[in-house]
């Protein structure tokens, strides 16, 4: 009984999102309480409209660009940084680890106005690459934290052997650390991708030019026009949700691991 309740409240909105995106407008207006979907009346026109008339092809490409670059840079920088924090001795080591956690607590709503002001002043605000840097600042501390705890569990013997054999530190990272940490790196990549893909506040505040919109920004822009059919909004919602649900179907294990190690905030 309880299980059914949870399955229903979790699955129904997603079901409804998909069904409504496939249902012609008249059907939504005439018969809003029809829970099923008539297979003979499936209507894909909303997807066509959203993709080609409302510029979503562009938004998808922008979102992919932002999310992939953010994920790649996050993984690369936090691998190197995580190695430094766990394997090298230097002054301020514990300060570094501590400040990571404090930075994790800084809310985006406190950062967005001052960043808006300075970027506007410098003429940098409406830029997709600046947005990537902001996302990096949001994801890097957590990525570093996750990898740090993972690297600590790796055995030192192989690395020491590598160093004695004349590997450089970067050689050790490339040949030993990275292959051994594949699952943790996958977790970090997935999470940073997802955070960048889903992010709304900064994209909404910073981007003005439709050519630069990410999907989140584009959906909100489109839904803002008054006489818009719900079918289009739902089709757009499906487009933004689908890639995330796919990632999540294939990599659930990494996602659960990442989440319980604190990858997402919010």
Window 81 to 120, contacts with other proteins (CB under 8 A): 81, 83-85, 88-91, 96, 103, 105-118, 120
- Token readout for 110 is 């406190």
Structure token digits, residue 56: 């979503």
The residue (of 48 and 253) whose beta carbon lies closer to other proteins is 253
Q: Does 162 bind other proteins (CB under 8 A)?
A: no
Question: What minimum distance in Å lies between the beta carbon of 266 and other proteins?
Answer: 5
* 32 sits near other proteins (criterion: CB under 8 A): yes
201 counts as binding other proteins under rule CB under 8 A: yes
Q: Does 226 bind other proteins (CB under 8 A)?
A: no
Nearest distance from residue 107's CB to other proteins, in Å? Answer: 4
Quick one: which of 66, 176, 233, 254 contacts other proteins (CB under 8 A)?
Answer: 233
Contacts of 209 (CB under 8 A, 6+ apart): 126
Which DSSP string do the residues of 21-74 spell out, in sequence order? HTS-HHHHHH-TT--S--GGG---HHHHIIIIIS-HHHHHHHHHHHHHHHHHHH
Block residue for tokens 């179907």: 249
Residue 161 binds to other proteins (criterion: CB under 8 A): no
Q: Is 72 in the site for other proteins (CB under 8 A)?
A: no
**Between residues 33 and 182, which has the closer beta carbon with respect to other proteins?**
33
Start-to-end Cα distance in the chain: 30
Of the residues 50, 147, 194, 196, which one makes contact with other proteins according to CB under 8 A: 194
Binding of other proteins by 39 (CB under 8 A): no
Q: What is the DSSP letter of 211?
A: G
Geometric angle at alpha carbon 194, from 190 and 196, rounded to 5°: 120
Site for other proteins (CB under 8 A): how many residues? 85
List the beta strands (DSSP E) in 143-232. Answer: none
Q: How far apart (Å, rounded) are the C-alpha atoms in residues 83 and 80?
A: 5
DSSP 168: -
Q: Among the candidate windows 51-59, 64-72, 150-158, 226-234, which touches other proteins by CB under 8 A?
A: 226-234
Among 198, 206, 207, 254, interactor with other proteins by CB under 8 A: 198
Q: Which of 162, 184, 234, 254 binds other proteins (CB under 8 A)?
A: 234
Vertex 234: Cα angle to 229 and 236 (nearest 5): 100
- Pick one of 121, 182, 209, 226: the residue that binds other proteins (CB under 8 A): 121
**Under 8 Å between Cβ of 236 and 219:** yes
CB of 93 to other proteins, least distance (A): 8
- Subset of residues 164 to 183 that bind other proteins, contact rule: CB under 8 A: 169
Determine which residue in the list 54, 148, 215, 254 makes contact with other proteins, applying CB under 8 A: 215
- Is residue 188 within 8 A of residue 147, CB to CB? The reply is yes
């Amino acid at each position: 009984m309880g299980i059914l309740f949870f399955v229903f409240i979790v699955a129904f909105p997603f079901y409804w999102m998909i069904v409504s995106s496939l249902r012609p407008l008249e059907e939504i207006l005439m018969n809003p309480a029809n829970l099923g979907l008539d297979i003979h009346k499936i209507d894909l026109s909303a997807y066509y409209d959203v993709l080609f008339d409302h510029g979503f092809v562009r938004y998808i490409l922008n979102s992919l660009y932002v999310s992939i670059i953010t994920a790649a840079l996050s993984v690369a920088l936090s691998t190197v940084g995580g190695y430094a924090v766990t394997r090298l001795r230097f002054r301020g080591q514990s300060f570094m680890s501590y400040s990571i956690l404090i930075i994790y607590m800084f809310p985006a709503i406190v950062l967005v106005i001052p960043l808006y002001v300075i970027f506007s002043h410098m003429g940098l605000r409406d830029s997709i690459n600046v947005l990537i840097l902001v996302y990096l600042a949001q994801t890097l501390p957590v990525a570093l934290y996750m990898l740090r705890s993972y690297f600590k569990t790796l055995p030192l013997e192989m690395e020491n052997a590598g160093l004695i054999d004349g590997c450089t530190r970067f050689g050790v990272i490339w040949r030993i650390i990275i292959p051994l940490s594949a699952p943790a790196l996958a977790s970090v990549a997935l999470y940073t991708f997802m955070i960048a893909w889903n992010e709304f506040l900064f994209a909404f505040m910073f981007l003005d030019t439709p050519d630069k919109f990410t999907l989140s920004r584009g959906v909100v822009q489109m839904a803002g026009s008054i006489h818009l059919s719900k079918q289009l909004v739902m089709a757009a919602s499906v487009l933004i949700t689908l890639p995330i649900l796919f990632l999540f179907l294939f990599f659930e294990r990494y996602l659960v691991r990442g989440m319980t190690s604190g990858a997402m905030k919010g």
